[in-house]
Structure 1
Amino acid sequence: MKIHKLISDSDKLAELVERLSSAPFVAVDTEFMRENSYWPDLCLIQIASTEEAAAIDPKAEGIDLGPLMDLLVGNTDVMKVFHAGGQDLEIIHNLTSKVPFPLFDTQIAAMALGFGEQVGYSSLIESMLGHSLDKGARFTDWSRRPLDKRQIDYAIADVTHLATIFPRMVEKLRKSGRGAWLDEEMERLADPSSFAFAPEDAWKRLKLPSRNPQLLGRLKALAAWREREARNKNLPRGRIIKDDTLGELASHPPKTQEDLGRVRGLSQGWRTNDIGSRLMEALQTAEPLSADDLPDRGPKRPGLTKDAALVSDLLKLLLKIRARETGVAPKLIARSDDLEALAAGVREDLAILSGWRFEQFGRDALDLVEGRLAFATENGRLKMTRTARDEAET
């Protein structure tokens, strides 16, 4: 594989992109910093095909990333491969308002191949390629220039290994017939709405044990105000104001800006500064949350009785058994809320009752709930057995 150490020139980047545009896939990774900012500070982009790999310096003066972004979000003939790519996709979405497609996430694929849930990149590489990664530059400051050779080598190694394991994972998925199992997960990952986040929705990330429309209306207004302040100043939300302080202000709103000086978590400067004035304006213009926007009192699906809770526990045990037998991460097969819903009597709109999930788990889960399947032990080992009732019916 040909390695281009660090591309910081627009012409060389355009030439690289032109070559990669004919590749069947590219492996992609990024290095960024966001400890002191709202927006992730993109410091390096790594990309590789089976033929060549490069690190690209987005901080290089005058560099045009347009051709690279066109490849990532506009060229649907090239598969884009990531590992645990949520934050990488967020960065690309911030730059383009789009998400790469088609895409493949090796961490998600690993769940279908027996590597467990949320397997780390180093562990996956060690399992598939038999060698450990150099972690020496893992916690480096990627924003500082110049980058040294070790940093660049470390960064490029991530995508070269990714480009190596991707075809192997695809082949394993093909042989096992599990490739289609991942379609739903990959589509969810590629949904732009996951990254397009309106300030007016920021309150939904906060938890207050209340359904009071006035209180939640104030929380919504304050959370939206903080989100805009954080974006405009490019500071983490917590640097503007902490979550617990935001909840306190919503629960016990100050009457005047002068009162902000007595709020725990705020300095005396808030009594007179401009940001304090904007906070008070957000509070004073807040409207009660409408009935349609109020959070549910509980799940829309039926609640669990004591007996149903026990059935749910049995379903979770069955899930562990089936996941162990098939070598698939339990999280990929079923989620806890679906198991609880099934135990509570729900039979509609459950992912485990359709498609491959039904074949691998849902059918047995339904049989267990409806009394056609039971747990038994044989020679000290747990196993599933058909009930006499089921055998009589068949």
Structure 2
Amino acid sequence: MLQVNYIRENREKVLERLSVRNFKQPELVDEIINIDEERRQLQTSLDNLSALANSAAKQIGDLMRNGKKEEVEVLKVQTGSNKEQHKNLSDQLSAAEIKLQNLIVQLPNLPYHLVNTGSTAEENETVYEHGEPAVLPENALPHWELTAKYDIIDFELGTKITGAGFPVYKGKGAKLQRALINFFLDHATENGYREMQVPHLVNEASGFGTGQLPDKECQMYHSGIDNLYLIPTAEVPVTNLYRDVILKQEDLPIKNTAYTPCFRREAGSYGAHVRGLNRLHQFDKVEIVQVVHPDTSYHVLEEMSAYVQSLLKELGLHYRVLRLCGGDMGFTAAMTYDMEVWSAAQKRWLEVSSVSNFETYQSNRLKLRFKGASGKTQFAHTLNGSALALPRIVASILENNQTDKGIKIPEALVKYTGFEYID
């Protein structure tokens, strides 16, 4: 959430950065500034009235001690009128604050200066590409046919049990899942991330804190009886560990990692681009989250991007890194790198990770602050990244490593799987 003071003092810059996102409601900025001005005037009037009430109370005490009862009665009549006015002003101030809050949460984060203007994925900027596409045999199959051939993932059985987008992993397919989770967690902890186990359901305050609510409410599974939400990513509970917390500067950076299943109600469409593992409603992911000093957050973003890339290199995957344009970036992000791996069988890029810097957008919602050397508190910066999401990694491993002997397991995973081939 953007800070009201910043919007008021930097109106033109806010409008300019929102235009990079192709934001369709720039008039909200002036509405926010006007409501904030009204709120501040009401607060000033209320403060003045409170000062008058305090002064009157002191005068009444002095008059009572001097036996001036008639003057006391006059002042009491005045203060009674002031109390009614105080209540009216308080009600108006509360209404203005609610309206201001409802408006400001509709503004997305402001893109960082390196983020280019654009509205679609086609306008994202490729900043790096690693490796070469796998050379496959002529009879190469897409992963949804490979999983049936080797009986390792059953999409129809998942549909029977739950619905589309909830696959069942079997035998070596299940072991490959577990191997990847352990591989990702081990590498994260070796790189200084503290492993956490967190709840898979969160309350509204947690969803609001990281920006899923109210923006992505329709994309989350909701338990109405308990008013809890199934998490779309471990980012939500892990970042909320620090909601309403004031850290010490020496505590930073904080680095956490967590494995969780993820649940997303995203509307699906038909076709190969969403077939099989390409888009699921339930999937496994290892997440990395950092809370850092504002001065270091973009250096940390580059480090996190490099770390995710190191995992892709170890798995022997051909990948590229995109810096997302303003219109393709998530609502809460200031800058995002997407990592995509090349599927040689599908002949298309598959997104497997997003690494984002949210600057103070989440920490303002979370009231996540730290106390600097001067003793003054300020908002920390938060970052997170997928390291990694499993479905499309599994799809890429299956498709890019298919041979006449079966599917060859990347060397880095063999000690986790206990087998070299799926056959």
Q: RCO higher in 1 or 2 (8 Å CA, sep ≥ 6)?
A: 2
TM norm structure 2: 0.23
Q: Larger radius of gyration, structure 1 or 2?
A: 2
- Larger strand share, 1 or 2: 2
- Larger helix share, 1 or 2: 1
